[in-house]
Amino acid sequence: MTAPAVKLRLDKWLVHARFCKTRSVAAALVGAGHVRVNGDRAQKPAQTVAPGDILTLAQPRVVRVLRVEALGLRRGPASEARTLYTELSEKRDDSPPNPRFEGKGRPGKRERRALDLSRLPGTD
């Protein structure tokens, strides 16, 4: 008789790999439809994942594609969590840089208004 394939709940894996801080946050992420497993939308947090599965996570400002390499036993340090997956999507940062006040000290009223106007979308 062969041993059953080792699998882990999706919400637990997301916590072990440090994509979510708690299991309830991970369950909410899956329930909102922001996670796909092998191209299919994850229907429930209890869906199992195994090494070799491809996960697609929709996070704020970025969509990450990951391959599950291992199943974690605990939510350990970040160095341990990085060994649980391989990033398949390329890293890119499309967000504009934060405007900075170039003077010394705190900005005055005029500089603060100019800074606030520069943060509005569509203004250059």
Q: Give the model confidence (pLDDT) of 27-83 as tens digits.
A: 999 999 999 999 999 989 999 999 999 999 998 878 899 999 999 899 989 999 999
Band the pLDDT of 84: cuts 50, 70, 90.
very high
CA distances to 69, 77, 84 from 51, rounded to whole Å, are 5, 20, 9
Which has the closest alpha carbon to 12: 27, 29, 31, 33? 27
Question: pTM score, two decimals?
Answer: 0.71
Give me the percent of the chain exceeding a pLDDT of 70.
84
Q: What mean pLDDT do residues 86-103 have?
A: 72
Give CATH for domain 8-87: 3.10.290.10
